[in-house]
């Protein structure tokens, strides 16, 4: 009976070690995939979120300034027409 128990103990240790190896392989695969995706994205000239937000803020400010200038021009034109 003890030899049978020993076989089960050996099988249990083998399975435990196999699970450890599988988890290590999974982590290595995830790291390699993340690395590959990061390199692919870096090669694509995508803008960062911060750069996009800065450009959007600048465009919004420029639009507001254009609207204000348009209103000023229209007011000045109205004054010129009334003279």
The span from the first CA to the last CA of the chain, in angstroms, equals 116
The reply to whether 1 and 38 lie within a common domain is yes
Mean pLDDT of all residues belonging to the chain: 90
Query: How many residues appear in the chain?
Result: 83
> How many folded domains does the chain comprise?
2
What band does 1 get if pLDDT is binned at 50, 70 and 90? very low
Lowest mean pLDDT among 25-34, 40-49, 52-61: 40-49
Same domain as 60, residue 40 = no
For residues 16 and 32, membership in a common domain is answered with yes
What pTM did the predictor assign? Answer: 0.47
Pair 19, 52 in one domain: no
The verdict on 22 and 55 lying in the same domain is no
- Print the SS3 string covering 9-40: HHHHHHHHHHHHHHHHHHHHHHHHHHHHHHHH
**Tokens 């988890």, residue located:** 23
Between the CA of residue 62 and those of 38, 47, 49, 56, what are the distances in Å? Answer: 34, 20, 20, 10
How confident is the model over 25-34, as pLDDT tens digits? Answer: 999 999 999 9
Residue 3's pLDDT is what? 65
Structural domain harbouring 22: 1-46
Domain match, 54 and 39 both: no
Residues 11 and 27 in one domain: yes
Q: Does the pLDDT of residue 23 top 70, yes or no? A: yes
């Amino acid at each position: 009976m003890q030899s049978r128990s020993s076989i089960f103990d050996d099988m249990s240790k083998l399975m435990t070690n196999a699970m450890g190896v599988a988890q290590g392989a999974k982590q290595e695969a995830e790291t390699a995939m993340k690395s590959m995706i990061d390199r692919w994205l870096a090669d694509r000239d995508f803008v960062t979120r911060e750069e996009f937000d800065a450009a959007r803020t600048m465009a919004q400010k420029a639009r507001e300034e254009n609207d204000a200038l348009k209103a000023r021009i229209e007011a000045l034109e109205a004054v010129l027409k009334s003279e």
